[in-house]
Amino acid sequence: MAGTAIADEALNVAEHQVVRPDGTKLRLVVIRPCAPGGQLPVVLHCHPGGWMLGAPETSGPTLVDIARNVQCVIVSVDYRLAPEHPFPAAHDDMMAALRWVQSQAKDLDADTNRIILAGESAGANIALGVALRLRDEGDDPTIAGLSLVYGPLDDRTTTQPAHPHAGAIGLGADHMRFAWASYLGDGPADAVSPYASPARAENLAGLPSVFLAMGAIDPVIDENLAFAQRLIRDGVPTTLHVFAGAPHGFDRWAAADVTVNLRNLRNQHLNRCIAP
């Protein structure tokens, strides 16, 4: 599920290494226009894979599409994977990547006042958890937006009946239970951090503009709809798109109309968030 190397003649693709406190290295894939003009906003991206699989290359077609249609620097994080590395390993890697972007802003020609956190599936969960942590700690930088596609947002849904059509194609409720258990590890259920399971946050006020998208037969549909309602009630600008008949991971079919539609809508939101 790692995917093929990311390449496009109009884009510059490079790898960077960030040394963790334990001496291991975190790989970042940086994608930018070959001929940028001035400082560019940053899309800090987390790939999908149920917290257990994948790499930045998993999202290669998505990242290339964003880079072609949004004038930005993309930094995709090759975070540590569960179950060998349960929460907070991936979360901490995303935070380390964010700090790296801040420290390298000059070399990247990056505008750190315009950073968007983005991800699909498990990556959407990690991106949202980081946004909540930054909000709670009152930490810089201020995040300009969140771009979240079919993210699992609430571990508690694994103990509830799924709606009758969820998982009819592809990923189902059993897969989600296994993924959550692998990510959260062996800790007590009542001690799960809202940075691991964002729906556990007591309030969502103070988050930036949020884009949520998922398919109607995705097992995460109910928790995303509930989360969108909470965002709206807490005064967070919220864009919600539900795609009829679409399963989890539907955007892997790059030429499908539903994928083209998703990418267009997502890019529109990204461009609104980074507008000067």
pLDDT of residue 1: 52
Q: In Å, how far from its chain's centre is CA 127? A: 5
Q: How far apart are alpha carbons 92 and 80 in whole angstroms?
A: 9
The CA-based diameter of the chain, rounded to the nearest angstrom, is 51
Q: What is the mean pLDDT of residues 247-271?
A: 95
Chain segment 113-160, per-residue pLDDT in tens = 999 999 999 999 999 999 999 999 987 778 999 999 999 999 999 888
pLDDT of residue 70: 95
**Do 45 and 59 contact (CB within 8 A), yes or no?**
yes
Q: How far apart are alpha carbons 171 and 238 in whole angstroms?
A: 26
Chain segment 239-250, per-residue pLDDT in tens = 999 999 999 999
204 contacts: CB under 8 Å, gap ≥ 6:
227, 230, 231, 234, 236
172 contacts: CB under 8 Å, gap ≥ 6:
162, 166, 219
| Domains of the chain with bracketed CATH | 11-274 (3.40.50.1820)
In degrees, rounded to 5, the angle at the alpha carbon of residue 72 between the alpha carbons of residues 236 and 242 is 45
**Do 42 and 92 contact (CB within 8 A), yes or no?**
no
pLDDT of residue 16: 97
Q: What is the DSSP letter of 5?
A: P
- Active-site positions read 121, 218, 248
pLDDT of residue 75: 98
**Do 171 and 246 contact (CB within 8 A), yes or no?**
no
